[in-house]
Amino acid sequence: MEKPPVEPLPMSALGPHTVFSTRLFMTGLLLATASFIRGKMLENAGVEFEVVRPNIDEEKTKANQTEPGKIAKELAEAKALAVSALREGDWVIGSDSVVSVDGRLFNKPRSREEAAEHLRSFSGKKLLLVSAAALARYGTTDWSLAGQAELQVRVLTEDFIQAYLDVEWPEVANTVGVFRIEGPGIQLFDAISGGHFTILGMPLLPLLRQLRIRNLLPS
């Protein structure tokens, strides 16, 4: 049975936690994340997809690993597999990011004060950011990859931290590194090494290549 057509709906018209479909997602491509920026990256690249939120225990996955790259990959795979179990015939993209400073893993801040504490911990340090993507179908991971970036955080004064959060909170509550690199978050850093899309939250170019290999995008 053919799926009914879906009216075009741009990401810009939606809130950051809205479940939605884009264009005519006849390819059966699903995005297993509620992340606004990841959906925006795919939409800007011309990828048609449907968002289905995964239901996974992220803390359990993190508890079983200590290496950021493995954690990011396992989280991306877990998200893709959770949705694939519900929609076995469709391809599912999972993605996640992990931030580590001095060997300590950081979660998304739960409050403004916790965000300030994270920024104090980052000050003058090298921040390791790992973003991973995975593809699953029929309940099996078909591909996954993690990209890594290093960001040198400059020395942050308390006045700057508070002024920064006056502007960026609560938007950065949804970011594991307490920054949006495409906005005022760029002011946190003295130097950046790594892929732009990895820093945004997903290794987009390798993912697009895999979508083309599977005929989910024109080659």
Q: Mind listing the pLDDT tens digit for each residue in 12-53?
A: 444 443 344 444 434 489 999 889 999 999 999 999 999 999
Q: Mind listing the pLDDT tens digit for each residue in 93-138?
A: 999 999 999 999 999 999 999 999 999 999 999 999 999 999 999 9
- pLDDT for residue 65: 81
3-class DSSP assignment, residue 43: helix
96 included as an active-site residue: yes
The pTM assigned to this predicted structure is 0.85
Q: Of residues 38 and 1, which shows the higher confidence score?
A: 38
Residue 184: CB atoms within 10 Å: 15
Helical axes 112-122 vs 158-168, angle rounded to 10°: 130
Q: Mind listing the pLDDT tens digit for each residue in 53-87?
A: 999 988 887 887 889 999 999 999 999 999 999 99
> Would you kindly state where each structural domain of the chain is located, as residue ranges?
11-213
Q: Mind listing the pLDDT tens digit for each residue in 149-162?
A: 999 999 999 999 99
Q: Mind listing the pLDDT tens digit for each residue in 168-193?
A: 999 999 999 999 999 999 999 999 99
Strands of the chain, DSSP E: 29-31, 50-51, 91-101, 104-106, 126-137, 140-153, 189-193
CATH architecture of 11-213: Alpha-Beta Complex (3.90)
CB burial of residue 177 (10 Å; 0-12, 13-18, 19+) = buried
- Out of 96, 102, 142, 190, which one is annotated catalytic? 96
